[in-house]
Amino acid sequence: MNIKQEIINAFHAKPREFISGEELSQTCGCSRTAIWKHIEELRKDGYEIEAVRKSGYRLIAAPDRLSAEEIRAGLDTYRIGQVVMAHDSVPSTQPLAHEAASKGAPEGTLVIAEQQTGGKGRLGRPWHSPSGTGIWMSLIVRPAIPLPKTPQMTLLTAVVLAKTIWEETGVEPKIKWPNDIFIGDKKVSGILTELNAESDRVNYLVIGIGLNANMTREDFPEELASIATSLRIESGKKLKRARFIQRFCENFEREYDDYLREGFERVKSEWEQNSYTIGKWITVSTIQQSLEGKAIGLDAEGVLILEDAQGKRHKVYSADVNY
Ligand code: BTN
């Protein structure tokens, strides 16, 4: 582990306490002069660190920047989020995650960026990803599941996002099929799952997550103002983004391990409990047709069941949904 990471971990383990230069140098296995140099570097990175003679160093405030070190400090997982590739500004984290995955990045690798200049949404739509206010990240997973089951991973991710939002903000989100997170009637988060597979073998999935964390109303362009919201707007508080990502990774790991062991049943019931869609009269448009009906629930595989005006039930695998 690098020395910066060790120092940040030590500060996180003892919040608001002074840690002596001697203790830090023992923990990190380096001289006190080296500790002092790294403290100076951390200050340049935006960390506010108090230094008091005879007492040592104390963390006053960490910068509101998503660094690999901040995400890894205090992260309680064994694989999800253990490798973080953090960027300032990139066109999109999705192709970077594909590149990393194809070069063998381990399962659970996270690619994150402060800003995306060409963020991608579903169905070729753009995803507004301004600097410093959101969580724009792509997670690499390598589940040993057959190809037709891969949409279940999107439903699983939506369940984990909804749970983490509720735990971290107290705001109650709803999942709009298949992969949008709503608060009230506005979208706060979206998921874009991309697949790399051969005939019937999944090589890896890149799960792209966009979360409007700390935007104010003025931060949204006019065309989004009436349909999008942020956690800050809804909860009235600024979100600690690094902490949110840690809790998301921990929740994801638990849910994912359970899914790989036990199957889809639990995800299905959690998804249905948090659904915005079930019980609503909706119109779905697929490439072949447009269907209207009431969303009844998911089947055992995660396919949406729609009941039309004549009482006939239809399975909806993938579609654009209107309410
Ligand atoms: C949607 O609702 O249409 C899905 C939006 C997914 C956005 C995320 S942000 C991180 C990752 N990188 C991208 O370019 N897109 C996804």
Q: How many CB atoms lie within 10 A of CB 194?
A: 16
Is residue 246 a known part of a binding site?
A: no
pLDDT of residue 123: 86
List the residue whose alpha carbon is closest to atom 9 of ligand 1: 210
* Ligand 1 centroid, distance to 229 Cα (angstroms): 15
Pick from 90, 93, 117, 127 the residue to mutate for probing ligand 1's pocket: most ligand atoms within 8 Å of its CB: 127
Is residue 14 a known part of a binding site?
A: no
176 touches 321 (CB < 8 A): yes
* Ligand 1 centroid, distance to 209 Cα (angstroms): 5
pTM of the model: 0.92
* Ligand 1 centroid, distance to 121 Cα (angstroms): 5
- Please state the atom number of ligand 1 nearest to the C-alpha of residue 119: 14
- Cβ(191) – ligand 1 distance below 6 Å: yes
User: CA 296 to CA 249: how far, in whole Å?
Assistant: 31
**Bond prior to 221 in cis (omega within 30° of 0):** no
User: CA 133 to CA 70: how far, in whole Å?
Assistant: 16
pLDDT of residue 76: 95
Phi, psi of 9 (to 5 degrees): -60, -45
- Cβ(119) – ligand 1 distance below 6 Å: yes
* Ligand 1 centroid, distance to 190 Cα (angstroms): 6
- Cβ(210) – ligand 1 distance below 6 Å: yes
- Cβ(122) – ligand 1 distance below 6 Å: yes
How many Cα atoms occupy the beta-carbon half-sphere of 131 within 13 Å? 5
What six digits make up the tokens of 295?
């969303």
- Please state the atom number of ligand 1 nearest to the C-alpha of residue 122: 3
What six digits make up the tokens of 137?
């990240």
How many Cα atoms occupy the beta-carbon half-sphere of 63 within 13 Å? 14
The residue type found at 111 is V
DSSP-based three-state secondary structure for 227: coil
4 touches 69 (CB < 8 A): yes
User: CA 5 to CA 19: how far, in whole Å?
Assistant: 15
The Cα-based distances of 57 to 7, 13, 62, 64 in angstroms read 10, 13, 14, 20
70: Cβ contacts below 8 Å, ≥ 6 apart: 8, 62, 242
87 touches 99 (CB < 8 A): no
Q: Report, as ranges of residue numbers, the positions in the chain whose pLDDT lies below 50.
A: none
Pairing of strands 110-116, 84-90: parallel
What six digits make up the tokens of 142?
């390598």
* Ligand 1 centroid, distance to 225 Cα (angstroms): 18
User: CA 225 to CA 280: how far, in whole Å?
Assistant: 24
* Ligand 1 centroid, distance to 24 Cα (angstroms): 40
- Cβ(94) – ligand 1 distance below 6 Å: yes
List the residue whose alpha carbon is closest to atom 15 of ligand 1: 120
